[in-house]
Structure 1
Amino acid sequence: MSETAEDHVLASTEAGIRIITLNRPKRLNAWDAPMRARLLELLSDAAADDTVQAVVLTGTGERAFCAGQDLNEGKTFDGDRAEDWIEEWRALYGAIRAFQKPLVCALNGLAAGSAFQVALLCDIRVGHAGSKMGQPEINSGIVSATGFWIIREMLGLSRAIEMVLTGRMAEAEECHRLGLLHHLVPADEVRATALRIARELADKPKLAFRLNKQRFREATQPGFDETFAAARALHRQAFSDGESQQVMQRFLEKGKA
């Protein structure tokens, strides 16, 4: 039986906390269009469900929260599809930014590229020694238009430039020191710690919590809008040229070798 997006993004609830799990461990939970659509659907459901007090986002396996974009999908893009792809991310990132309830990321492993960006858009991040984070998109021929903006918002221009151009993955200790990871705990405590923090946040005064998150979003919305306008143009140019697809193909072939 073939797997579906419902198999690749799971949802369960524990005492009012909705747990959303990326579940594609053979590909390090890398996501494609159906997974992104499923995640957006689950976040929308959690936002509308009054019995859900908070969300914990995590992944299956010991190696990765998510390796980011599935290059097997990306290597097929042309300029038109690249623009649609960016619109899919705009919808997902916009939903995360507009999510009024607590959203905690339990990083069971590495978070690369777009997964790094999704993690940074969550309210609180919990990880362990294997929770590397970074923006390696340049290494597979992908422009870091949205990643640059999110990293710059978090860390400033100098570190954003360095992380985007080197494509390096930062070790968990560095991520914790910089504030990219708020809590660094043993691997077997990540999930429990994330659930505890989600419950603590859910117990905060709800109106004040919601208005604070609304203010965070409003203050950064102009940059968000400018970023996605730029991302559409940059990715159309990159994928129309063909370099991105060629580099992805070489990257995949090297991995198989």
Structure 2
Amino acid sequence: MTEAELVLRHEDGVAIVTLNKPEKLNAWTSAMREALGRMLAQLGEDASVKAIVVTGAGERAFCSGQDFSESQNFEGGGDADVWLAAVKSFYEIIRGIEKPIVAALNGLAAGSGFQVALLMDYRVGHAGVKMGQPELNNGIPSVVGPWGIFAERIGVARSMDLILTGRMIDAEEAKQFGLLNEIVPAAEVLARSIALARELGGKPPVALRLTKRAYREATQPAFDRAFQIAEEAQRQAFASGEPQRCMQEFFRIRAARKSA
């Protein structure tokens, strides 16, 4: 990972973090995800930072999730175990930040990118945003997202719809589901997110911290259980080779489109 893959700037007490791999729809490798986790943890401890905004570079994506060029090379269940443990650690960092975090969605939020957006407190997007959980289409059991993050927000029926079809929903449907809080013109997404983060960061800090902590503690059992279930599911899936074959097919189709 290069430092240029993450860009950090500060604006009046708000830290703005940009995922900077627009050529890959801001998909993250393990190294990029770990670096982002370290950055967010440091911002969470920085007294000068009152709130955080996370966004993606370019006009196409917030984050498309896992970079398949890495995960297609997993050799079996052992690699899946290491990967899942790292994902849990990353998600725990986000859940543990007791300051407001706003996702400024400038485009696609898919897979773990979708999950991370939902781990944040507020989501601002534009009419062109697409959100969804296409893991199953790529041979990956969809466990952590629905049962650890979003089923409690949108219910079982809608969760099963998203994870079994793998479809991407548009901004209006995402807002109806409660997955997107605000829809503004594309040119205003980041500015609105920063303004909102500043507003939320100005709330009474002790009450804010304890409110976020209470939510984390109340939802921790389901979160932990989802990862426990996912551990065996991912191990079996990657040991079978099915996700790797699906990812290879994804790259084959993409290459054919580029050469056409």
Tell me if TM exceeds 0.5. Answer: yes
Give the structure-2-normalised TM-score.
0.96
Question: Which residue is 2:155 aligned to?
Answer: 156
Task: Judge which range, 27-36 or 143-152, deviates more.
Answer: 143-152
Corresponding residue for residue 76 of structure 1: 73
How well do the aligned residues superpose, as a CA RMSD in angstroms? 0.8
SS at match of 2:27: coil
Q: Which residue of 2 aligns with 1:47?
A: 44
SS at the partner of 2:180? Answer: coil
Secondary structure at the aligned position of 1:85 is classed as helix
Aligned length: 254
Amino acid paired to 1:165: L
Partner Cα separation in structure 2 for residue 246 and residue 6 of structure 1: 31
Percent identity between matched residues is: 50
Please give the per-residue CA displacement for 1:35-71, whole angstroms capped at 9, x wherever unaligned: 1111101111101111111100000000000111111
* Cα distance in 2 for residues equivalent to 1:135 and 1:21: 22
Are 2:193 and 1:198 equivalent residues in the alignment? no
Q: Secondary structure at the match of 1:143?
A: coil
Gaps (5+ residues) in structure 2?
none
Verify: 1:111 aligned to 2:121, yes or no.
no
Tell me the distance in 1 between the aligned counterparts of 2:192 and 2:87: 28
- Pairing 1:129–2:133 present: no
In the alignment, the residues of structure 2 paired with residue 159 and residue 123 of structure 1 have an alpha-carbon distance, to the nearest angstrom, of 20
Alpha-carbon distance, 1:120 to partner? 0.4
User: Residue 245 of structure 1 aligns with which residue?
Assistant: 244
Q: Which runs of 5+ in 1 are unaligned?
A: none
Report how far residue 5 of structure 1 moved: 3.6
Superposition misfits of 4+ residues, deviation over 6 angstroms: none
Whole-Å separation in 2 of the counterparts to 1:236 and 1:81: 8
Contact 1:5 1:38 in 2 (8 A): no
Match of 1:21 in 2: 18
3-state secondary structure, aligned to 2:224: helix
Q: Is the Cα contact below 8 Å between 1:5 and 1:34 reproduced in 2?
A: no
- Cα pair 1:109 1:132 within 8 Å, conserved: yes
**Distance in 2 between residues matched to 1:204 and 1:144, nearest whole Å:** 36
> 1:71, 1:142 → 2: CA distance?
12
Q: Deviations over 1:172-205 (max 9, x none)?
A: 1111122111010000000000000000001100
1:143 alignment partner in structure 2: 141
CA shift at 1:151, angstroms?
2.2
Range that drifts further, 15-24 or 146-155: 146-155
Looking at structure 1, the residues matched to 96 and 10 of structure 2 have their Cα atoms a distance apart, in angstroms, of 21
Q: Of the candidates 68, 76, 87, which is equivalent to residue 89 of structure 1?
A: 87
Q: What's the offset of the Cα at 1:20?
A: 0.7
